[in-house]
Chains A and B, each alone.
Chain A
Amino acid sequence: DIKMTQSPSSMYASLGERVTITCKASQDIKSYLSWYQQKPWKSPKTLIYYATSLADGVPSRFSGSGSGQDYSLTISSLESDDTATYYCLQHGESPLTFGAGTKLELK
């Protein structure tokens, strides 16, 4: 199974700050990587697919990058609405595997 190592597990950031979350796959996943945002008591929401493509309706302050084993999600300027838990997911092969999540809170 492909293991996804996501970091950090939690973080505090200030409004307007640039935030980066990383995921490292245990093998090359060929950009079959997506990012999800989950707010408390809500279903997850797709932010980024195929490593770099922005999902419909997602603000442009979110971006994804990476290839091979290493990927990142960046929020260019943090807004209060961005406080949530973020998950990466590899879907290059079964079983699909998530990172452990990053809880992002306001400082």
Chain B
Amino acid sequence: DVQLVESGGGLVQPGGSRKLSCAASGFTFSSFGMHWVRQAPEKGLEWVAYISSGSSTIYYADTVKGRFTISRDNPKNTLFLQMTSLRSEDTAMYYCARETTVVPFAYWGQGTLVTVSA
């Protein structure tokens, strides 16, 4: 079974940094593009970033461009999101999601909560 397990969330001060991880199992990680999607408390879903299977293609939402970096370690089956210059509006549950050829978010992790507050 496909499993995605996020970690790394927690309380961060405004202006601080945090690195999220997503450990993948149950499939050939190096064959699939991956996304990060977030959801602020009591709000809707927001796509954050995408990385292709071989890291050659990367996209970001304008709200995080220049502050967040998506990366992956295929031999270690792990996806990352490095977040810097964090703001209160970055407070959210962060999900990693795996694509298929026709579904951008076919599989989701359980999420990791990032709270940006002094």
Interface residues of A (CB under 8 A from B): 1, 34, 36, 38, 43-46, 49-50, 53, 55, 87, 89, 91, 94-101
A43 CB contact (under 8 Å) in B59, B102, B106, B108: B108
B104 at the interface (CB under 8 A from A): yes
Q: Which residues of B contact A100 (CB under 8 A)?
A: 44
Q: Which residues of B contact A45 (CB under 8 A)?
A: 108
Given A34-B105, A43-B95, A46-B103, A98 and B59 contact (CB-CB distance below 8 Å)? no
- The main secondary structure of chain B at its interface with chain A is loop
User: What is the number of residues of chain B that contact chain A, defined by CB distance less than 8 Å?
Assistant: 20
Docked complex Cα distance between A50 and B101 (Å) = 10
On whether the beta carbons of A98 and B46 are closer than 8 Å, the reply is: yes
On whether the beta carbons of A87 and B105 are closer than 8 Å, the reply is: no
